[in-house]
Amino acid sequence: MELMSAIANRRSVRSYSPRPVPPELLEQVLGAAVCAPSANNCRPWQIVVVQDAARRERLAQTHQWSRFASQAPVILVACGDRRASPTYWVEDVSAAVENMLLAAHGLGLASCWIGIRDDTDEHERAVRAALGIPEQIGVLALLPLGYPAEPVGERQPRDPAPHVHRESW
Q: Where are the alpha helices (DSSP H) in 45-137?
A: 53-60, 89-106, 122-131
Q: How far apart are CA 158 and CA 156, in angstroms?
A: 6
The tens digit of pLDDT for each residue in 31-74 reads 999 999 999 999 999 999 999 999 999 999 999 999 999 999 99
Q: What is the pLDDT of residue 154?
A: 78
The tens digit of pLDDT for each residue in 90-125 reads 999 999 999 999 999 999 999 999 999 977 789 999
E strands along the chain, which residues?
45-50, 74-81, 110-111, 114-115, 137-146
- Domains of the chain with CATH codes: 17-150 (3.40.109.10)
Phi, psi of 87 (to 5 degrees): -90, -35
Position 1 confidence tier, pLDDT thresholds 50, 70, 90: low
pTM of the model: 0.94
